Amino acid sequence: MNIKKITKEERPRERLLRKGAASLSDRELLAIIIRTGTNKMSVMQLADEIISIDTSGILFLENCVAEELSRIPGIGPAKACQIAAATELGKRIVTRKKSNKYVIEYADQAAAMLMKELSGLSHEALKVILMDTKGGVVSVENIAEGGLNIVNAVPREIFHMAVRRNAFAIVMGHNHPSGDPSPSKADIDLTTKMQKAGEIIGIHIADHIIIGGGTYYSFKENKII
């Protein structure tokens, strides 16, 4: 399709600005990168040609070099360099994101992370550290805070983010504003409930950390988990 025949609002660049890059198809993103077509093909048609070169589609570009790309009809050295540069940038972002991932192996590492999040709060708050299969931290999510009693945080709410983020394991963490990190009966009951729910869902409860008085209590270190 000729780009000029597409309404201005539906052109790739305009849609990217309005809806974000994630809303665009592979061909539309590629069309933005190569910018212009040729005398015989529109930029969208040229993008289609590139994607259809290999059955792997857009993955064909992963290991392509500029010299190889420039041999594609309609792709000169300039366009080849633009595609190669964009592909390499994406690969570097993914690589650095993986290599910079913080890994939790011991309770004190999880406690240190939660200490930053929970120390000094005058109210009780519950957070979870989401982790991948290697213990790498995916994210730290806020579950409940303020006047909410920690026992009212049901497993469904706690697991919601873990399922969405495809987490393998979680570390629960909350604070005791009183300064005493010793677990209450409600804390133990919640942990037991979470373990049972986790076994059904397939998400491992790696630990439950309670922060208080500048120190912490680990359910794992105390062999409750």
Q: What pLDDT digit, counting tens, does each position of 16-63 carry? A: 888 888 888 998 999 999 988 888 888 999 999 888 888 888 888 887
Q: How far apart are CA 176 and CA 210, in angstroms?
A: 7
Question: Please, are residues 194 and 205 in contact by the beta-carbon 8 Å criterion?
Answer: yes
Q: Would you mind telling me the total number of residues written for the chain in this entry? A: 225
Backbone φ, ψ for residue 55 (5° rounding)? -65, -20
Identify the pLDDT of residue 220: 95
Confidence tier at 7 by pLDDT (50, 70, 90):
low
What mean pLDDT, rounded, does the chain reach?
Answer: 85
Give the pLDDT score at 96: 62
What is the per-residue pLDDT across 91-115, written as a single tens digit (0 to 9) for each? 777 766 555 578 899 999 999 999 8
C-alpha triplet 118, 193, 205: angle, nearest 5° = 60
For residue 106, how many other CB atoms are within 10 A of its CB?
13
- pLDDT confidence bin for 202, thresholds 50/70/90: very high
pLDDT at 1: 47
Which of 2-11, 89-98, 111-120, 165-174 is modeled with the greatest confidence?
165-174
Domain 107-218, CATH number (from 3.40.50.1980, 1.20.120.1200, 3.10.20.30, 3.40.140.10): 3.40.140.10
Residue 9 has pLDDT above 70, yes or no: no
Q: Which among 91, 89, 88, 69 has a CA at the least distance from the CA of 78?
A: 69
Fold of 3-99: DNA polymerase; domain 1 (1.10.150)
Q: Same topology for domains 3-99 and 107-218, yes or no? A: no
CB 192 within 8 A of CB 158: no
222 pLDDT band, cuts 50/70/90, is: very high
Task: Give me the helices (H) in the chain, please.
Answer: 12-19, 26-34, 43-51, 66-69, 77-99, 107-118, 155-164, 185-201
| pTM, entire model | 0.56
Phi and psi at residue 20, in whole multiples of 5°? 95, 155
Domain boundaries, the chain: 3-99, 107-218
Calpha distance 84→89 (Å, rounded):
9
